[in-house]
């Protein structure tokens, strides 16, 4: 679990008070990884507390984080600073949060980040790391994984050292998120709830968080009674609770198939989940019906025919990635999932997208 969290509009102003006691010495910097959408946005960047050797690294989110990108950041830090950093701070969406987590882990673990993709492969605790979401939904702020695309697979570094030491939740930071992106990343949370609550891994701990997150999503995406601020506050908490729910259970069919789309076509997590989930009536009938209502209410049009021109080899690649995520299928379908989830089942679904 995340050991410390602060919540509140304007709490970003307290960042200096929070991290300064963690400074090891004046040569051990804080490195801020910041979504480059904020480059030149003084409202946010002027409040990043920089002293001594501290550094801001702006990161493009056009593509999702890659293992080689993480290895490069780590090498740059080791080459450019005399001492290991006092802390790594990620400011942005799931991409930036995952980059901060992965860099913090790899600063204290030898080798390449691809070698740690999987479950519980990390040996040493990470450098102190802080997550500050600027868009809500992924649950990356609370999860014990950092999802990376490597040479062979798109898979998380899942470990007890992955969760942030500190999270700062300031819903005001999400005020300028574009509508479509708000929906896609918000639906990531909705899908987390559905996949967790209908999965075979569900337990009372996970269920409690999942039900609260689902209730918040229904309020945010289907009611007309919320102010913009209430909606921002609630989505930030839905993301947290949805993330907690899957951390103690697992995701399911939409995520497994979305990873395939992400790996082959570079389709991003949020929109990828939406594209897949739209076709999963057979697995999540109520959830998919409600999702379609939310989509209609917010006039969201999803891309169609993204698999229309793919070759057999392409389908095989996606299907291999999707089927390799065994815990997701076992959660979704049960221990005997291999009887019903075959190459052909997935191909037929992908062909609809």
Radius of gyration for the alpha carbons in the chain, expressed in angstroms and rounded: 20
CB of 53 to ligand NAD, least distance (A): 27
Among 188, 233, 290, 330, binds Zn ion (CB under 5 A): 188
Dmax (CA) of the chain: 59
Q: Are strands 154-158 and 55-59 parallel, antiparallel or unpaired?
A: unpaired
Q: For ligand NAD, which is the closer residue by CB, 86 or 149?
A: 149
Residue identified by tokens 């037929």 is 348
Q: For ligand NAD, which is the closer residue by CB, 113 or 138?
A: 138
Q: For ligand NAD, how many residues bind (rule: CB under 6 A)?
A: 30
The answer to whether 146 contacts ligand NAD (rule: CB under 6 A) is yes
Cα 267-269-273 angle, rounded to 5 deg: 95
CB of 64 to ligand NAD, least distance (A): 4
Q: For Zn ion, which is the closer residue by CB, 104 or 187?
A: 187
61 binds, among Zn ion, ligand NAD, none (CB under 5 to 8 A by kind): ligand NAD
Give the residue among 193, 287, 200 at the shortest CA–CA distance from 240: 193
Q: How far apart are CA 47 and CA 220, in angstroms?
A: 29
Q: For Zn ion, which is the closer residue by CB, 30 or 190?
A: 190
DSSP E strands: which ranges in the chain? 4-7, 30-35, 55-59, 87-92, 118-119, 129-133, 147-149, 154-158, 166-169
Give the residue at shortest CB distance from Zn ion: 188
Q: For Zn ion, which is the closer residue by CB, 86 or 158?
A: 158
Among 173, 280, 288, 319, binds ligand NAD (CB under 6 A): 173
Among 67, 109, 117, 143, binds ligand NAD (CB under 6 A): 143
Q: Which stretch binds ligand NAD (CB under 6 A): 69-77, 81-89, 132-140, 309-317?
A: 132-140
Q: For Zn ion, which is the closer residue by CB, 54 or 278?
A: 278
Q: How far apart are CA 1 and CA 44, in angstroms?
A: 27
Give me the long-range contacts of 337-343 (CB less than 8 A, separation at least 24): 343/316, 343/319
The answer to whether 150 contacts ligand NAD (rule: CB under 6 A) is no
Counts of helices then strands in the chain (DSSP H, E): 14, 9
Among 54, 98, 165, 278, binds ligand NAD (CB under 6 A): 98
Q: Which stretch binds Zn ion (CB under 5 A): 7-15, 71-79, 186-194, 291-299?
A: 186-194
Q: How far apart are CA 102 and CA 88, in angstroms?
A: 10
The answer to whether 64 contacts Zn ion (rule: CB under 5 A) is no
CB contact at 8 A, 273 and 191 = yes
Residues 18-37 within binding reach of ligand NAD (CB under 6 A): 35, 37
The answer to whether 85 contacts ligand NAD (rule: CB under 6 A) is no
Q: Which stretch binds ligand NAD (CB under 6 A): 106-114, 145-153, 280-288, 340-348?
A: 145-153
Q: Which stretch binds ligand NAD (CB under 6 A): 51-59, 170-178, 209-217, 286-294?
A: 170-178
**SS3 call for 256:** helix
Q: How far apart are CA 312 and CA 290, in angstroms?
A: 33
The answer to whether 145 contacts ligand NAD (rule: CB under 6 A) is yes
Give the residue at shortest CB distance from ligand NAD: 94
Among 90, 131, 139, 287, binds ligand NAD (CB under 6 A): 139
On the 0-12 / 13-18 / 19+ scale of CB atoms within 10 A, 302 is: middle
Residue 63, H or E segment = none
Residues near Zn ion, by CB under 5 A: 188
Residues near ligand NAD, by CB under 6 A: 35, 37, 61, 64-65, 92-96, 98, 134-135, 138-140, 143, 145-147, 173-174, 176-177, 181, 185, 188, 268-270
């Amino acid at each position: 679990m995340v050991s410390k969290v602060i919540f509140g509009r304007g709490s970003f102003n307290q960042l200096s008070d929070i991290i300064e006691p963690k400074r090891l010495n004046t040569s051990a910097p804080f490195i801020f990884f910041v979504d480059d959408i904020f480059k030149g946005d003084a409202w946010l960047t002027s409040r990043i507390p920089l002293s001594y050797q501290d550094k801001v690294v702006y990161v493009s989110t056009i593509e999702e984080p890659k293992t080689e990108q993480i290895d490069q950041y780590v090498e740059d830090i080791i080459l450019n600073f005399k001492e290991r950093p006092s802390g790594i701070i990620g400011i942005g969406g799931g991409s930036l949060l995952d980059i901060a987590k992965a860099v913090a882990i790899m600063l204290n673990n030898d080798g390449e980040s691809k070698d740690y993709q999987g479950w519980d492969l990390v040996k040493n605790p990470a450098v102190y790391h802080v997550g500050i979401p600027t868009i809500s939904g992924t649950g990356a702020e609370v999860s014990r994984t950092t999802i990376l695309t490597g040479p062979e697979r798109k898979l998380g570094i899942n470990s007890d050292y992955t969760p942030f030491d500190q999270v700062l939740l300031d819903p005001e930071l999400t005020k300028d998120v574009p509508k479509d992106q708000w929906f896609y990343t918000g639906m990531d949370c909705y899908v987390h709830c559905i996949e967790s609550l209908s999965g075979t891994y569900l337990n009372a701990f996970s269920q409690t968080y999942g039900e609260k997150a689902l209730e918040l999503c229904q309020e945010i995406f289907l009611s007309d009674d919320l102010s913009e601020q209430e909606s921002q506050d609630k989505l930030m908490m839905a993301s947290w609770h949805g993330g907690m729910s899957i951390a103690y259970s697992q995701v399911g069919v939409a995520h497994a198939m979305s990873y395939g789309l992400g790996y082959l076509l570079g389709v991003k997590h949020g929109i990828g989940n939406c594209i897949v989930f739209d076709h999963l009536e057979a697995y999540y009938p109520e959830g998919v019906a409600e999702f379609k209502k939310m989509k209609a209410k917010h006039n969201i049009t999803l891309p169609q025919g993204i698999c229309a021109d793919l070759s057999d080899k392409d389908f095989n690649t996606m299907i291999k990635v999707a089927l390799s995520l065994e815990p997701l299928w076992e959660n979704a379908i049960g221990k005997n999932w291999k009887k019903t989830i075959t190459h052909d089942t997935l191909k037929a679904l992908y062909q609809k997208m």
